[in-house]
Amino acid sequence: MPNFPPFASIEEDEIIEERHIAEWPEWSAKLISPGCKIQTMHWHDGTITTRMLCPQRSVLAAVIEGPQAQM
């Protein structure tokens, strides 16, 4: 993640709560705690980054999708 412009725009920013974890498989509660956050970020070149952050802002997991084809 670059520390200089251009920065990504955060399109989705959702905090994981107990209700989310209750809907997921039981094993997920051992890995994901309430207060974690899921963010979807859109970059200027069309790349999309979806990441999960712990409450201390460390990235726990991320998926990066390349730029979408221009039509």
Count of domains observed in the chain:
1
Q: Does residue 47 lie within any of the structural domains?
A: no
Q: Does residue 58 lie within any of the structural domains?
A: no
Mean pLDDT of the chain: 88
Q: What is the pTM of this model?
A: 0.74
Q: Tens digit of pLDDT for each residue in 34-54? A: 999 999 999 999 999 999 999
Range(s) of the domain holding residue 18: 1-42
Q: Does residue 37 lie within any of the structural domains?
A: yes
Q: Does residue 17 lie within any of the structural domains?
A: yes
DSSP string, the chain: --SSSSPPEEEEEEE--HHHHHHS-TTHHHH--TT-EEEEEE-TTS-EEEEEE-TT--EEEEEEEPPPPP-
Q: Does residue 49 lie within any of the structural domains?
A: no
Q: Does residue 6 lie within any of the structural domains?
A: yes
Q: Please tell me the predicted confidence (pLDDT) of residue 67.
A: 80
Q: Does residue 27 lie within any of the structural domains?
A: yes
Q: Does residue 57 lie within any of the structural domains?
A: no
